[in-house]
Structure 1
Amino acid sequence: MIKVLFICHGNICRSTMAQFVFQNMVNQSGCQADFYISSAATSREEIGNGPHYGTVQKLRQVGVPVLEHRARQMTRRDYDEYDYLIGMDSANIRNMNRIAGGDPEGKIHKLLAFAGASRDIADPWYTGNFDRTYEDVVEGCEALLSYLLENETQHRWR
C-alpha cells in the first residue's frame, strides 16, 4: 500500500483539498485498495477544525466528495509511517523538514514538482481564490497519481 500525506499550513484548505481530490482520482482509477491517503498541518492553529467552507464549496461545485476530516498537526512519526509527504509550498517544505528532523529517505516533495513546476500552490485562506488553488491541486494530483502508478506499482507489485 502506498501511503500519501498531503500537508499545508493549517490543514483546512489546500491539504484537505488535495487529499479529497487525490482520493477521488484514486477511486476513479479503481486502485483505492493500493493507497492510504490523509492530510495534516505544519501549524497547530486549526487543529480539530473541519475543512474550510471555501474548500468544501469548491469541491461540491466540481463533484468531488468531501470526506470526514479534522485538522491535525504533522508529527515526526508521520515521516516513518508515510511513503510520500507532499507539501503545498516552500514554507510547508521547510516546516515539514523541521518537524521530521530532515528528509534522509527523500519522502518530502512539493506537490507541483510532480507536474514539472516549481511554483507554490497559493493559500486561498489569504488569496480567497479557491478556483485557482483547485486548478493547481488538480494539476499536481494528476501528475502525482501518474508518477505513482508508473513507478510505485512496478516496484511493489511486479
Structure 2
Amino acid sequence: MRLLFVCHGNICRSPMAQSVMQNFINQSGLSERASVDSAATHTDEIGSPPYYETQRVLKEQKVPLVAHRAVQVTPADYERYDLILCMDDENMRSLGRIFRGKDMAKVKFLLEFEEGNFADCDALNFKGALKQTALNLKSGGSNLTASERLQIADPYYTRDFERCYADIKRGCEGLLRYIKNSDGIC
C-alpha cells in the first residue's frame, strides 16, 4: 500500500505524519506492505526541509525524521498512490482541483482512521466513497461537526505542534490498524 500524506506546505503536518507512520511501519515489520511519502498542495515551501518546530517535536517524541524536502502534489500522484491522506478541508479542496475529474474515494482525512471514526475496515472502500453510515464520529461532548472533528489544525499558524503531533499520532495508529487488517489490496 502506497501512502501519501498531504498538507499545505509540506513542512509541518505531512512530514510529521510521514515520519510517524514510517516509524510505526518499521516497528511493526510492515515495510514490505507499505511505503510512505508526503507532499504539499501549494508551492510556498518547495525544496524546504521540515519546519524546525516539527523537527523538535519529533525529536522529543523519539520519532526519527525521514529525509525530506518539500515537494508539490501532481496529478500523476493520483495513480502513483493507493491512499492519499490530507489534514483539513483546505487540503481536500486543493486536492479536488489537482485531481480534477478523478474519483476522490482514495483521498481521505487522516483522522478518518482514528479509532471510533469508522466501524470496521470494510467501511473504507477504495472503489467507492467512504460509507457515511459507517462513520461513528466521537464528539467528546463538544459541539463540533463531523467535518470539524476530522481537521488537524496547521501548527504553522496555531503554534501548537504538540497538539498537531497528538492528532497525527492518533490518526496514524488507526491507519496502522487498517493496514494490518487489510488484504493489502486497494
TM-score by length of 2: 0.79
Partner of 2:19: 20
Bigger shift: 109-118 or 5-14?
109-118
* SS of residue paired to 2:38: strand
Say if 2:111 and 2:170, in contact at 8 Å, map to a contact too. yes
Partner of 2:155: 124
* SS of residue paired to 2:76: helix
Residues of 2 paired with 1:73 and 1:152: CA distance? 30
Partner of 1:77: 76
Q: Which amino acid aligns with 1:94?
A: R
Partner of 2:5: 6
* SS of residue paired to 1:6: strand
Higher Cα radius of gyration: 2
- Equivalent residue runs for 1:104-143 within 5 Å: 104=103, 106-115=105-114, 116=117, 117=137, 118=147, 119=149, 120-143=151-174
Residues of 1 paired with 2:69 and 2:112: CA distance? 27
**Larger helix proportion of the pair:** 1
**Residues 92 and 102 (structure 1), Cα distance of their counterparts in 2 relative to 1, 3 Å cut:** farther
- Equivalent residue runs for 1:46-57 within 5 Å: 46-57=45-56
Say if 2:12 and 2:154, in contact at 8 Å, map to a contact too. yes
**Cα deviation, residue 142, structure 1:** 0.5
Identity over the aligned pairs, expressed in percent?
A: 46
TM-score by length of 1: 0.93
Residues of 2 paired with 1:152 and 1:105: CA distance? 21
Say if 2:6 and 2:38, in contact at 8 Å, map to a contact too. yes
Partner of 2:179: 148
* SS of residue paired to 1:106: helix
Q: Which amino acid aligns with 1:12?
A: I
Bigger shift: 140-149 or 123-132?
140-149
**Residues 146 and 103 (structure 1), Cα distance of their counterparts in 2 relative to 1, 3 Å cut:** farther
Q: Unaligned 5+ residue runs, structure 2? A: 118-136, 138-146
**Residues 54 and 11 (structure 1), Cα distance of their counterparts in 2 relative to 1, 3 Å cut:** same
Residues of 1 paired with 2:18 and 2:174: CA distance? 14
Bigger shift: 30-39 or 55-64?
30-39
Q: Unaligned 5+ residue runs, structure 1? A: none
**Cα deviation, residue 38, structure 1:** 0.2
Residues of 2 paired with 1:140 and 1:54: CA distance? 20
- The CA RMSD measured in Å over matched residues stands at 1.3
Q: Number of aligned residue pairs: give it.
A: 154
**Cα deviation, residue 10, structure 1:** 0.2
